[in-house]
Amino acid sequence: MLKKLSLCFSLFVGFTVTQAQIKSGPMLGYNTMKEVMVWVQTEEPKMVSMEFYPEDQELQKQQVLFQTKASEAKIAKLIAKDLEPGTTYRYQIYLDNQAASAGSFTTQKLWQHREEPPKWSMATGSCAYTNEPKYDRPGIPYGKGNEIFKEIVEKRPEMMLWLGDNIYLRDPDWSSKSGIEHRYTHFKSMPEIQELWKSMHHYAIWDDHDFGPNDADRSFVGKEMTLKAFQDFWGNYEYGINGKPGITSQFSYNDVDFFLLDNRYYRSPNDRKTGKREILGEEQIEWLIDALVNSKATFKMVAIGGQVLSDVALYENHATYAEERKKLLDLIEKEELKNVIFLSGDRHKTELTKMELSNGNLIYDYTCSPLSSKAYNSIDEGNSLRVEGTHLATQNFGILEFSGSFKERKLTIKTFNAKGELEWERTIDRQ
């Protein structure tokens, strides 16, 4: 009996030591019909392997290998290839041939030209501050706890789109590669967030606090370092357009197209008096309009760090760059684009903004913020386009549900507080 107890204790100790070698993750990255990324960060440089196979078909097991390196933040991006659409796969992560973590993922379904699109949901939000007292400013903590991430998991969305300020680079961080990697690692390794990483697929954009200092713009000398870290620590399919650096990209999830915009890399300084004032720049706007015109999706979701439709020219709202905002909205109108929904963050408050164009088409901006940072009540700031009853000044997240037939598709936006309680919901019909 004593020998059996000793053996069980040894196995238990061995398992916990192996588990500790994973610093953060596994995190499910991009998801297509034929490929899925699984992201892992290890405690020390390790040979990481992933075995994966269709559920209940272990004989079809495949394997992918990746050696993590200290120079690359000990990150492994494991790509499961040659998958079948609409299929659930089991996976097992090994570190130096020792089992470390297991999970599952389901590829996107091949519904096109065969059946109606599936009913599905996604989570979204921005402004996630995780406290680290020795580097935080003195006083009341800016982060308000990580309990909200458990509540997102409870809603069981298929994927999550992070809308910027996903981390908050602090004064010791943004001037060095190791400082930037420390901030990402601190955030992504928080125990309360680990279940979130493996429960749904994750995509992200950035805003100033991921890019550099507060209100940082194209002049920030460390933007190559922060761009590299963003690419390393997130699992988007691609970054940048037309061979130019940045985070701009596009992906499709079921019946919806997502357009991820970069509001920092090419942004002119807020206070510059001369030269063209731009956030996105002409090339990025032209790419976006081309892509929106080409899209046949039921809804076209445009993700950007700051508010676009609010007509209040405050802080870093797009209204403070009035000429570019007008150009963007005029192009959407002239091209007669329908079902365009902006997803934005930054403002530490949530609200839905609705604009009717002269041709009768409606566009929306769902600002969802903050996840775990301090919230601010700005209900009186004067956004004349705000949908009544949608302003919320507390920690919250959004769940977007897509349902109905292709021609009569509906988007239902639900906003939940940090306890997982529904604060408000609105439904948008496909035009």
Mean per-residue pLDDT pooled into runs of 10, the chain (431 residues)? 36 39 97 98 97 93 97 98 98 96 98 98 98 96 97 98 98 97 98 98 98 98 98 97 97 98 98 96 98 98 98 96 98 98 98 97 98 97 97 98 98 98 98 96
Q: What's residue 59's pLDDT?
A: 87
pTM: 0.94
Q: What's residue 58's pLDDT?
A: 86
Q: What's residue 19's pLDDT?
A: 47
Q: Rounded to an integer, what distance in angstroms lies between the CA atom of residue 280 and that of residue 303?
A: 12
Structure tokens of 177?
């590669």
Structure tokens of 229?
């870290």
Q: Rounded to an integer, what distance in angstroms lies between the CA atom of residue 199 and that of residue 216?
A: 33
Q: What's residue 2's pLDDT?
A: 37
Three-state secondary structure call for residue 148: helix
Return the closest-CA partner of residue 259 out of 278, 231, 285, 230: 285
CA distances from 28 to 40, 106, 242 (A): 9, 10, 27
